Amino acid sequence: MTEGTLTRADLTDAVFTALGISRNESGEYVERILEEIIHALEQGDTVKISSFGTFSVRRKKLRMGRNPKTGEEVPITPRRVVTFRASHVLKDQINTALTNRSAAAE
Whether 28 and 74 map to the same domain: the answer is no
Whether 70 and 102 map to the same domain: the answer is yes
Whether 34 and 57 map to the same domain: the answer is no
At residue 55, φ and ψ (nearest 5 deg) are: -100, 135
- For 97, residues 6+ apart whose C-beta sits below 8 A from its C-beta are none
- For 19, residues 6+ apart whose C-beta sits below 8 A from its C-beta are 26
Whether 41 and 57 map to the same domain: the answer is no
More confident site: 4 or 49: 49
What is this structure's pTM? 0.76
Q: What's 5's domain CATH number? A: 4.10.520.10
Whether 71 and 105 map to the same domain: the answer is yes
Whether 39 and 56 map to the same domain: the answer is no
Q: Find residue 33's DSSP bridge partners.
A: none
Percent of the chain with pLDDT over 90: 87
Whether 22 and 62 map to the same domain: the answer is no
CA distance 106 to 98: 13
Whether 100 and 67 map to the same domain: the answer is yes
CA distance 12 to 34: 12
Whether 57 and 104 map to the same domain: the answer is yes
Count of domains for the chain? 2
Full domain range(s) for residue 75: 51-106
- What is the pLDDT averaged over residues 72-96? 96
Express each pLDDT in 22-53 by its tens digit. 999 999 999 999 999 999 999 999 999 999 99
Contact 79, 62 (CB under 8 A): no
Percent of the chain with pLDDT over 70: 96
- Flag whether pLDDT at 1 surpasses 60: no
Whether 24 and 65 map to the same domain: the answer is no
